[in-house]
Amino acid sequence: GNSVTQMEGPVTLSEEAFLTINCTYTATGYPSLFWYVQYPGEGLQLLLKATKADDKGSNKGFEATYRKETTSFHLEKGSVQVSDSAVYFCALSESGANSKLTFGKGITLSVRP
């Protein structure tokens, strides 16, 4: 079956530090890959997505590249802000998101001023 593995957290960084959150996946087909962010007390917001190999998703300074050879979709940001403090979920879906999303466990990011 499908699975998503995220690095263990939580992660605490100082403002303007570089961020990498690792995500690897296992899938039988050619999934679409997503990063969602959840701010405290809120639902999930789509941060970025990639639908095929070598695609790069980007939004709000965050980037992730769909690496089929390493089955990875690592999230990066060059300079984090306090407002980036949230829980980040990596997810995949087979044949578009009308099918189920498989989520990683999520990782909490805290950014100190």
Partner 1 sequence: GAVVSQHPSWVICKSGTSVKIECRSLDFQATTMFWYRQFPKQSLMLMATSNEGSKATYEQGVEKDKFLINHASLTLSTLTVTSAHPEDSSFYICSASGTSGPARDTQYFGPGTRLTVL
Interface contacts to partner 1, rule CB under 8 A: 32, 34, 36, 41-46, 49, 51, 89, 93, 96-98, 100-101, 103-106, 108
- Least Å distance, CB 108 to partner 1, is 8
- Residue 49: how many other CB atoms lie within 10 Å: 19
Distance in Å, CB of 26 to partner 1, minimum:
16
Q: 112 near 82, Cβ under 8 Å?
A: yes
17 vs 94, beta carbon nearer partner 1: 94
Asked if residues 75 and 89 have their Cβ atoms less than 8 Å apart, the reply is: no
Written as six digits, the tokens of 105 are 């466990």
Q: Which is nearer to partner 1, 85 or 108 (CB)?
A: 108
